[in-house]
Structure 1
Amino acid sequence: MKNPALKGTSTALIHTPGILLQQANLEGAPFRHLLAEQLRSFESVVRYPPNQAFIGNLLPEDLANIPRPWYKNSLPNAKREGHYGEIFPEDEFFGLLYTVDVNGLVCLEAGFRDAVLENLRSHPALGRLKGVTKAQENNFSFAEIQEMIENQEALPLTTGGRIIGCVRKGNELDLHLSAARVMENLTAKASAVAALQLLLWQTGLQPEEVDYIIETSEEACGDIRQKGGGSFAKSIAEACSCSNASGADTRAFCAAPVHGLMQAAALVQSGIFKNVMVVAGGCCAKLGLNAGIHLKHQMPVLEDMLGAFAVHISQDDGINPIVRTDLIGRMKVGCGDSPQMVYRSLVEEPLTKGGYKICDIDRYAGELVNPEIIEPTGCGDITRMNYKMIASLGVLKGEIHRGEMEVQVNRFGVPGFAPNQGHIPSGVPYMGPARDLILQDKINRVMIIGKGSLFLGKLTRLYDAISLILERNPKLDKETT
């Protein structure tokens, strides 16, 4: 059987200070009245080094050369467009939210709607969306929107401190289709649509060539009878005009993206499908998760970004990196929660099976959350702690000298740079840099690790983890010889 190959990746960031404030109000956060004072401007989020790494304008490894805190060391002349994707302002995202809504639940004030849609039509990727080219024919005045907010329990949409629209309930009696839930679901859909549309535009793959979409976010759409029935995947395919595609959602908390990559690779390798997309949109419930702590430390509120990605897995072309489906690492039920046992299952077992040592992996990428977001909570740099566990495993196996641990961690550990969106940091944002570095013959192998907190669902006390290896295409070595 042919190896599945990584053909392309894209990433998207959406600056959402208005949605952040909305979340704080919905949750009744005691500090919500202070948030506006610490919110970042769009220009500042574009210049923020981790965000530039996320969209591909610098390697995550380069962050080690930029003094911290990064929010005090902005990058001059930074651009919103990057090698892998783009950073979008909130007003454009509200326009996108409107275009992917097929049930008339997102209502925008007519003047704002016309202006933002005109702006989106000039975008090289999003301008191709049928919801942008053929927008809904409805007009709402500010007075009508205000009436829906005051009397129909609609959720206001605000940007720049002013109300520009609202989101209505999907059903009068179903709490699972409340305006807040509809907003959560459409936010995940719209951000994933942005990422997939960017990927199609960047790679030149035609929408009708997509066979299957696996959606791996942390949301679960449904109604009172089927609370997580789905399907985000097929709705995203529809929005992006992938007329020949089907799809389904995969859920495993933060580990879902790597499960999705494994499934995509298996579907391609088996010959069932040729072009499979793994996508995930952002989670607005995670916005401002640690905002109170950031305010206490007199920091900007850094959790003001939605993250999204799309990954294209296809048949081996003899050039692109392959996914080693024979070397999948998985946290089995019997592992328990011992870190040593977990990393033996995730790292040691697949490497041993492939005849590799710990240091044969050029980069490990797992839980890539930006440390500036997490460290103020007292958790430390989670990303780096994971790499220390891997290095410790190498010491126990006699493959790394104890005195070389820090050197090896600095060599193979990808620093955290992703927004704190749960599923988004779990290894996948490094797929783009990994592919490029492998194609440039600078590295040979990367291990992507996803970890998930299954215990949050109160069905088990277990958590989950899974890993896979990206590797230089062996056909390139055969051609060289």
Structure 2
Amino acid sequence: MPEAAVIRAASLVLAHTPGLARHGSKPMRTLPGDAGLTRDFLANLRSFDDAVGYPAHQAFLGACHPRELPPRPWVGASMAGAERFAPFGELMPEDEFLGLMAAVDEFDLLVLTPEVAERAVKRLAEHPLAAHLDLSRVSAAAGDVAAALASGALPVHLAPDTLAGALRGAHEEDESLVSHVLLENLACKATGTLALLHLLHDNGVDPKAIGYTISCSEEAVGDRYQRGGGNMGKTIAAVAGLSESSGADVKNFCAAPIPALVIAASLVVAGVVEQVVVLAGGSQPKLGMKFEGHLRHGLPVLEDVLGGVAVLVTADDGVSPRIRLDAVGRHRVASGGSGAQILHDLAVRPLEAIGARLCDVDDYATELHNPEITEPQGSGDVAARNYKTIAALAARNKEITRDEIDSFVATRGMPGYAPTQGHLASAVCYLPHSLSRLTTGPADRVLLLAKGSLFLGRMSQRSDGMSVLLQRNGG
């Protein structure tokens, strides 16, 4: 059995979906019945070019390191040379994304207008991943949208307000299979598939070599007897051609990607399988989540993208960054719930376990939410708050002085840059950056930390979290 597991490759994608933003949880509850607010919402949706040029998106997709981002504000400051395709993946326009949803729709839930279906087929046929997409499903999705709407289907739009299709519910009495829930699940499946196909295609990975696929998305696939039962992992593996893979889902609110990585590495080191993919699709309910704050501050609706990630975990190849299973931080039940107590469990304790200090880590990746999205609605700068707490812990341990806290944050932290797709912003979005930093770059250690809010489900008052150390491979 291998002595260690490594992260061999990773991909990140975004799908620009301003037309779907009205079906985010907050807009869906707030816009109906308020014509003025709806008008302002639709008038402030971003164009695709604006989304591509947005500096934070380019950092997310790997065109620059987060520390290389220009000073804020980023709205209106399009990055020179920004392109749709970037080192980690791509930002897909919404007409193609509707086609992608149709391509992965196995139950004919999505009906597209003939014009939208035809255009999507044409554009997806020119996509680098075209050979892996079932474009016949997209053509077959063309149909009578008016009839679908008359039967109670959910309208689907291209921004700002062009009817593009409708999504049917699958059961009249099952709340888990109503149209807006199925939209969430289908959007998650499509973005996760896009990320996985980029992982395979861009890195020359044999899909038949993958033995297990773990999804750590935030959707809840199931029916009324098994709400959230899953299994999005195997679902996406199947559509992407991973014929030898089984799969399962890991759920832990925003923290899920880190436990999923630890489980994947454990499966490899235990010899259960040789290669595991960890992936996640986007969170449709979080589109437009903070739009009211954006509009109040004269900003466009910034939560207009869905994200996706895919990571390949394999046995040690002597080159790729190692996953240190002896340096995993766990927020224990016995630990307190304050920010400092959580980060002590996630940062200090795993490093102490291997005889390392906080200053021995080159990069800390924590909750990397874009502050330009979070601040207008009063949530503050989440990343900066976490980095200051970690630096304060280093000062308390006498690794640095109080006067060196700002320097610690500047050199080992980074500005938040990820869309508020909770699980993707929680450290895993930095994983592709960490691969280059730990192979061809100057870093030796990167600590990924993620936190989850268990109290949101009203079953526990607690939070949770996990961290894992990545280390340069010594060969």
One-letter amino acid of the counterpart of residue 151, structure 2:
Q
Does residue 50 (structure 1) correspond to residue 52 (structure 2)? The answer is no
| CA-CA distance at 1:130 after TM superposition | 4.4
In the other structure, the counterpart of 1:338 is 338
| CA-CA distance at 1:313 after TM superposition | 0.6
Partner Cα separation in structure 2 for residue 184 and residue 350 of structure 1: 36
Alignment of 1:265-280 (within 5 A): 265-280=265-280
SS at match of 1:423: helix
The answer to whether the 8 A contact 1:268-1:276 is kept is yes
Residue identity (%): 38
One-letter amino acid of the counterpart of residue 413, structure 2:
G
One-letter amino acid of the counterpart of residue 336, structure 1:
G
Taking structure 1 as reference, are residues 105 and 431 closer, same or farther at Cα in structure 2, changes over 3 Å only? same
The answer to whether the 8 A contact 2:217-2:256 is kept is yes
Q: Deviations over 1:173-222 (max 9, x none)?
A: 21210111111110111000000001100111121111111100111110
One of 68, 74, 77 as aligned partner of 1:70? 74
Does residue 37 (structure 1) correspond to residue 43 (structure 2)? The answer is yes
The answer to whether the 8 A contact 2:281-2:307 is kept is yes
In the other structure, the counterpart of 1:129 is 132
SS at match of 1:354: coil
| CA-CA distance at 1:353 after TM superposition | 1.2
| CA-CA distance at 1:225 after TM superposition | 0.7
Q: Deviations over 1:148-184 (max 9, x none)?
A: 11x2110111114321211111112212101111111
Partner Cα separation in structure 1 for residue 13 and residue 419 of structure 2: 11
Q: Deviations over 1:28-51 (max 9, x none)?
A: 334333101211100001000000
Gaps of 5+ in 1: 476-481
In the other structure, the counterpart of 1:478 is none
The answer to whether the 8 A contact 2:23-2:285 is kept is no
In the other structure, the counterpart of 1:479 is none
Gaps of 5+ in 2: none
| CA-CA distance at 1:344 after TM superposition | 1.8
In the other structure, the counterpart of 2:153 is 154
Partner Cα separation in structure 1 for residue 108 and residue 178 of structure 2: 14
Partner Cα separation in structure 2 for residue 25 and residue 72 of structure 1: 24
One-letter amino acid of the counterpart of residue 56, structure 2:
P
Partner Cα separation in structure 2 for residue 137 and residue 399 of structure 1: 62
The answer to whether the 8 A contact 2:110-2:141 is kept is no
Greater displacement, 363-372 / 376-385: 376-385
Partner Cα separation in structure 2 for residue 319 and residue 242 of structure 1: 25
| CA-CA distance at 1:136 after TM superposition | 6.1
| CA-CA distance at 1:26 after TM superposition | 2.9
TM-score, normalised with respect to structure 1: 0.95
Taking structure 1 as reference, are residues 342 and 474 closer, same or farther at Cα in structure 2, changes over 3 Å only? same
Does residue 16 (structure 1) correspond to residue 22 (structure 2)? The answer is no
In the other structure, the counterpart of 1:423 is 423
Q: Deviations over 1:315-337 (max 9, x none)?
A: 11101110001110010011121
In the other structure, the counterpart of 1:26 is 28
In the other structure, the counterpart of 2:223 is 223
Partner Cα separation in structure 2 for residue 128 and residue 453 of structure 1: 40
Q: Deviations over 1:249-302 (max 9, x none)?
A: 110000001111111111111111111111011111000101011100111111
Partner Cα separation in structure 2 for residue 281 and residue 99 of structure 1: 15
Partner Cα separation in structure 1 for residue 64 and residue 139 of structure 2: 42
In the other structure, the counterpart of 1:6 is 7
One-letter amino acid of the counterpart of residue 104, structure 2:
V
| CA-CA distance at 1:404 after TM superposition | 0.5
In the other structure, the counterpart of 1:59 is 65
In the other structure, the counterpart of 2:444 is 444
Partner Cα separation in structure 2 for residue 470 and residue 245 of structure 1: 25
Partner Cα separation in structure 1 for residue 312 and residue 93 of structure 2: 25
| CA-CA distance at 1:341 after TM superposition | 2.0
The answer to whether the 8 A contact 1:336-1:462 is kept is no
Partner Cα separation in structure 2 for residue 6 and residue 136 of structure 1: 34
One-letter amino acid of the counterpart of residue 94, structure 2:
E
Could you list the structure 1 runs, at least 4 aligned residues long, displaced by more than 4 angstroms after superposition: none
One-letter amino acid of the counterpart of residue 93, structure 2:
P
Taking structure 1 as reference, are residues 139 and 251 closer, same or farther at Cα in structure 2, changes over 3 Å only? closer
SS at match of 1:424: helix
One-letter amino acid of the counterpart of residue 29, structure 2:
E
Q: Deviations over 1:114-158 (max 9, x none)?
A: 221121122112x122423x43663644xx211211x21101111
TM-score, normalised with respect to structure 2: 0.96
One-letter amino acid of the counterpart of residue 131, structure 2:
R
In the other structure, the counterpart of 1:251 is 251
The answer to whether the 8 A contact 2:320-2:439 is kept is yes
Partner Cα separation in structure 1 for residue 99 and residue 217 of structure 2: 21
How many residues align structurally? 468
Taking structure 1 as reference, are residues 379 and 321 closer, same or farther at Cα in structure 2, changes over 3 Å only? same
Q: Let me know the Cα RMSD of the aligned residues.
A: 1.3
The answer to whether the 8 A contact 1:19-1:157 is kept is yes
Partner Cα separation in structure 2 for residue 76 and residue 404 of structure 1: 34
Alignment of 1:122-201 (within 5 A): 122-125=126-129, 127-132=130-135, 134-135=136-137, 138=140, 140-141=142-143, 144-149=144-149, 151-160=150-159, 161-201=161-201
SS at match of 1:334: coil
In the other structure, the counterpart of 1:291 is 291
In the other structure, the counterpart of 2:401 is 401
Partner Cα separation in structure 1 for residue 23 and residue 395 of structure 2: 48
